[in-house]
Amino acid sequence: MNKMKLLPVMTYRGVKQNKLVYRPYLMACVVSVFSYYLFSSLLHNDLMERLPKAAYAWMMLMLGKGLLSVILLLFLLYAGSFLQKRRKRELGLYSLLGLERRHIGIMLLWENAGLYLVSVSAGMILGFVLNKLMFLLLLRVSRLDVEVAFYFSIEAVMETLRYFAVVFLCIYIRSLWGFYRMKPTELMSESRKGEKELKRIWLWSAAGLLLLVCGYYISVTSKLDSMIFTDFFLAVFLVVLGTYFLFTSGSVAFLRFLKKRKNIYYRPANQVTISGMLYRMKKNAAGLSNICIFSTMLLITLTCTVTMWMGMDQIAYYDYPYDMQAVYSENSNVIETAWQKAEALSEKYGQGIARLDYYNAMELACGKREGSNTFVSAAGEKFADQYNVTLLLLEDYNRLEGQDTSLKEGEVLLYTTGVPFGFDTVNFMGVEASVKAEPERIYPYPQAKNRMFSFTSQYAIVVKDQEALDRFVSAWAQVNGVTDLEGFLHSGVRHLNLLLDGKETERDALIEEWSVWCQGQQDFLRIENGLEGRDEDRAMNGGLLFIGMVFGILFFMCLLLIMYFKQVSEGYEDQDSFGIMRKVGMSDEEIRGTVHRQILLVFFLPLAGAFLHTAAGLVMVNGLLAALRFFDTGLLLRCCVGVVAAVAVLYGGSYLMTAKTYYRIVKK
């Protein structure tokens, strides 16, 4: 009975005595609770369900919350293992002094229950305070304009409490397992043991190098097709596994190789440094691989986030190059009065007219055999080989682009938004034509800046006259089994597209009146509001941006915490090493310089690995962003360089801060 009363007190004293490791762990738990509660609160906010344009942001938050749940569980389990390693000596001593295993199990239960209560309380209080601010940030990056009032969700609170109850239960079960499977004497020495060294390190080193090369190869050679996301996760898995093997085995194998080279090893500075590095890598290689992986995740996440923020308008205008697109039947005479109406509205609302384009088009679904110049029926072709082909008259092309191009009989202009066509002739459903040129642009169909990464390429074939157009259309109709050929030949459409010159936020009133006028004209078929389309794109991409911001902060917190724990654990391990170095005659300055070089090498090696991983992954990142209609590779590279420089500075600052803790422990 007395023991049972003492257990909570002993638990509190144990936590207090190990505050160097418990304080940052508790802060990480609080930030984790805040992050999870934030996602839950936003998802349970009624505004996210009522706003039509917020549906995409809501979907992105749902995906982010699922990913966050997995990351937080794995990270807190990993961070908890550092705590248990520091406490095992203490628990072993309690066991030797007479405490039964069930008593220590109750102590661990008190400890985890206390950490759970403090974490969820502080995390949700922080969430209550910052909830409105974070929701405003989400609306800001998603360009959703709405008045926001304070919103409290009991569902979000209960969901957060349940999730972290499961997380801390998993941590408690893992700590019990680590305690019960060892004898008290083993627990006393466990805190000074390093990570388990793999056997056959040369074999594992070769496997790690092979996995890394395979991951890099998949990343560099990936194409923007239906397999891009599968390739991405496969490349990530191979790189993570290869990184782990190279740090745990490859680094040790390399240092052993240097140790056998007498001309390198038997020099005073090299001997101490190589021996010390070999000792450190044997004990801490797995932790360093985690630092490398989290650094890479931080770099990739921030690069994507900054790039999307800088290129959001570019993405929106690629999908919707016009503010309004109206479609009429082929014989409509709407153009005769369109200019007069547009000019009257521009004067009324003080907006300039950047473009008012009209043209006839026949839009056909086709298949294209890979690596050939032949267009065939889309039926039976793979989805990746199906394209929209638009047939345009030469006079419409010249008017759209301000050109004075001429075509001979049997000649065409062939334009593509994606990979260049690259053939001198084209075979369209059996109709052969000579490709006079591939135009650089046709405005209604924006061309990707990086044409190799265009996921939904479109083709436009510009023909000489109506007779040539009818020949192409007849061939398509015959191949696809169209029976009413006469009616199909006259089934083309006329486009009337408007783009204003002025601030986009001031265009709504004009576009609304223009839309009403367009729909009231004869032979009207359909209309597409580009302003609304861009808003929907921004809402979806804004949700991704918000997730990127939150995950960037989270990854940096994980990185900082792992670095701190490693400095603390190495500090306690190096206390005895400092004494031994003094006894063999090394001065304090020599000891400090040697250890400083070792720590610098150990902690900046993962950063170098992260830079290499990021450089190899940029090709695949470029493809993934292209799936979102972002094609500016130059902007991506500039953002990546800026992010790498910023993260390097933050990493260096974090190292300096955590190094102070290391030296403070060692001096004791």
- Tell me if 72 sits within 8 A of 551, measured CB to CB: no
How long is the chain? Answer: 668
d(CA 100, CA 98) in angstroms, rounded, equals 6
Region 558-587: mean pLDDT is: 69
Residue 433 has pLDDT above 90, yes or no: yes
Per-residue pLDDT band at 193 (split at 50, 70, 90): low
Task: Give pLDDT, residue 1.
Answer: 46
Position 31 in a domain: yes
d(CA 312, CA 408) in angstroms, rounded, equals 42
Task: Give pLDDT, residue 380.
Answer: 60
Region 96-120: mean pLDDT is: 78
- Tell me if 572 sits within 8 A of 665, measured CB to CB: yes
Task: Give pLDDT, residue 577.
Answer: 65
Region 161-187: mean pLDDT is: 78
Region 514-529: mean pLDDT is: 89
d(CA 335, CA 357) in angstroms, rounded, equals 9
Radius of gyration of the chain (CA): 32
Residue 583 has pLDDT above 80, yes or no: no
Q: Number of structural domains, the chain?
A: 2
Task: Give pLDDT, residue 395.
Answer: 92
d(CA 650, CA 227) in angstroms, rounded, equals 35
- Tell me if 536 sits within 8 A of 516, measured CB to CB: no
Region 606-620: mean pLDDT is: 87
Q: Which residue has the tokens 């701190």?
A: 564
Position 603 in a domain: no
Of residues 384, 161, 385, 530, the one with CA closest to residue 376: 385
Per-residue pLDDT band at 462 (split at 50, 70, 90): very high
Task: Give pLDDT, residue 579.
Answer: 66
**What per-residue string of b and e applies to 264-282 under the rule 16 or more CB within 10 Å gives b?**
eeeeeeeebbbebbbbbbb
Highest mean pLDDT range out of 105-114, 359-368, 373-382, 405-414?
A: 405-414
Per-residue pLDDT band at 562 (split at 50, 70, 90): confident
Position 220 in a domain: no
Q: Which residue has the higher pLDDT, 668 or 325?
A: 325
Q: Taking the alpha carbons of 156, 157, 162, 165 in that order, is the dihedral positive or negative? A: positive
Per-residue pLDDT band at 336 (split at 50, 70, 90): confident
Region 122-140: mean pLDDT is: 75
> Does this model's pTM top 0.85?
no
- Tell me if 661 sits within 8 A of 564, measured CB to CB: yes
Per-residue pLDDT band at 364 (split at 50, 70, 90): confident
Q: Which residue has the tokens 């009257």?
A: 344
**Type of residue numbered 348:** K
Q: Which residue has the higher pLDDT, 195 or 666?
A: 666
Of residues 614, 602, 530, the one with CA closest to residue 566: 602
Tokens describing residue 213: 């090369």
d(CA 496, CA 125) in angstroms, rounded, equals 55
Task: Give pLDDT, residue 190.
Answer: 55
In the three-class reduction of DSSP (H, G, I as helix; E, B as strand; rest coil), residue 661 is classed as helix
Of residues 133, 158, 159, 137, the one with CA closest to residue 66: 159
In the three-class reduction of DSSP (H, G, I as helix; E, B as strand; rest coil), residue 198 is classed as coil
d(CA 294, CA 281) in angstroms, rounded, equals 18
Digit-coded pLDDT (tens) for 504-516: 778 888 999 999 9
Among 172, 193, 214, the domain-final residue is 193
Around Cβ 233, how many Cβ atoms within 10 Å? Answer: 9
Residue 344 has pLDDT above 50, yes or no: yes
d(CA 534, CA 538) in angstroms, rounded, equals 6
Tokens describing residue 478: 């015959």
d(CA 362, CA 369) in angstroms, rounded, equals 21
DSSP letters along 248-268, please?
IIIHHHHHHHHHH-HHHHSSH
What's the domain range around 430? 352-501
The alpha-helical segments, DSSP class H, found in 97-153 are 101-142
Of residues 218, 99, 230, the one with CA closest to residue 616: 218
- Tell me if 477 sits within 8 A of 299, measured CB to CB: no
Tokens describing residue 227: 């397999």
In the three-class reduction of DSSP (H, G, I as helix; E, B as strand; rest coil), residue 586 is classed as coil
| Beta pairing partners, 494 | 328, 360
d(CA 369, CA 353) in angstroms, rounded, equals 41
d(CA 356, CA 340) in angstroms, rounded, equals 11
d(CA 570, CA 85) in angstroms, rounded, equals 12
* CA-to-CA separations, 271 to 258, 267, 574, 580, 587, in angstroms, rounded: 10, 6, 18, 16, 16
Digit-coded pLDDT (tens) for 11-70: 777 677 777 777 778 888 888 888 888 778 777 766 555 554 556 556 666 777 777 788
Any idea which of 104-108, 621-625, 641-645 has the lowest mean pLDDT?
Answer: 104-108
d(CA 282, CA 249) in angstroms, rounded, equals 8
Of residues 548, 558, 556, the one with CA closest to residue 650: 556
Any idea which of 164-168, 349-353, 468-472, 628-632 has the lowest mean pLDDT?
Answer: 628-632
Position 297 in a domain: no
d(CA 268, CA 219) in angstroms, rounded, equals 43
Q: Which residue has the higher pLDDT, 120 or 269?
A: 120
In the three-class reduction of DSSP (H, G, I as helix; E, B as strand; rest coil), residue 369 is classed as coil
Region 208-223: mean pLDDT is: 85
Position 487 in a domain: yes
Highest mean pLDDT range out of 135-144, 487-496, 521-530?
A: 521-530
Region 544-559: mean pLDDT is: 77
Among 501, 521, 538, the domain-final residue is 501
Any idea which of 88-92, 442-446, 456-460 has the lowest mean pLDDT?
Answer: 88-92
Position 274 in a domain: no
Per-residue pLDDT band at 225 (split at 50, 70, 90): low
What mean pLDDT value characterizes the chain? 78
The alpha-helical segments, DSSP class H, found in 320-369 are 335-349
Of residues 168, 30, 25, the one with CA closest to residue 83: 25
The fraction of the chain above a pLDDT of 90, given in percent, is 10
Highest mean pLDDT range out of 153-157, 385-389, 431-435?
A: 431-435
Region 159-178: mean pLDDT is: 86
Tokens describing residue 508: 């709504």
DSSP letters along 140-185, please?
HHHT----------HHHHHHHHHHHHHHHHHHHHHHHHHHHTS-HH
Position 161 in a domain: yes
Position 316 in a domain: no
| Beta pairing partners, 361 | 493
Among 193, 213, 232, the domain-final residue is 193
